[in-house]
Amino acid sequence: MSLEWEQVVVDASDPVALGRWWAGALGWVVVHEAPDEVEIRPAPDRLPGLLFVPVPEAKTVKNRLHLDFRPDDQEAEVDRLLALGARHADVGQGEQPWVTLADPEGNEFCVLGARRP
C-alpha cells in the first residue's frame, strides 16, 4: 500500500478570494477554480496542493493545523505578506524566533527564520 499527499483542505468563507490570495502569496498556480472551490499547487503537475472549500461558519478559534514557511529573508517576507493582506496573529506563542501571521480569513501560519548552517 502506498499513499501520496494530494492536498490540504482549507475551509473558507470565500474560497475563490482566499485561494487566489494564497496563490499570490506563495507564487503558486490555480489548477482548478469553480464558484465553490479553488485548488492551487506549486506547479500544475506538482503536489501537494491547497484546496479551498466553502463553509457556512466563520473561523472562531486557533487552527488545529497550520503551515510553516522558511524564507531566505524572514523580515522581508513578513513585510511582503503583510502588504498582501496578512496580519500579525497571537496564538499564545510568546516570544519566539518565528513570526505568526494570519491570512485574510484569520488562518494562522508561521514565517520561520533562516536555517542555521
Which grid cell sits at 14? 470565500
pLDDT of residue 60: 86
Every domain of the chain with CATH number 3.10.180.10 lies at 1-56, 63-117
pTM, to two decimals: 0.91
CATH superfamily for domain 63-117 = 2,3-Dihydroxybiphenyl 1,2-Dioxygenase, domain 1 (3.10.180.10)
pLDDT by residue (tens digit) across 36-59?
Answer: 999 999 999 999 999 999 999 988
- Residue ranges in 1-117 assigned as alpha helix (H): 15-26, 74-84
Q: Which helix (H) or strand (E) holds 99?
A: strand 99-102
Residue that is written with C-alpha cell 496578512 in the block:
86
CATH fold of 1-56 reads 2,3-Dihydroxybiphenyl 1,2-Dioxygenase; domain 1 (3.10.180)
pLDDT by residue (tens digit) across 1-27?
Answer: 799 999 999 999 999 999 999 999 999
Q: By C-alpha distance, which of 63, 39, 64 is closest to 49?
A: 39
- Taking the C-alpha atoms of residue 19 and residue 50, their distance in angstroms, rounded to an integer, is 8
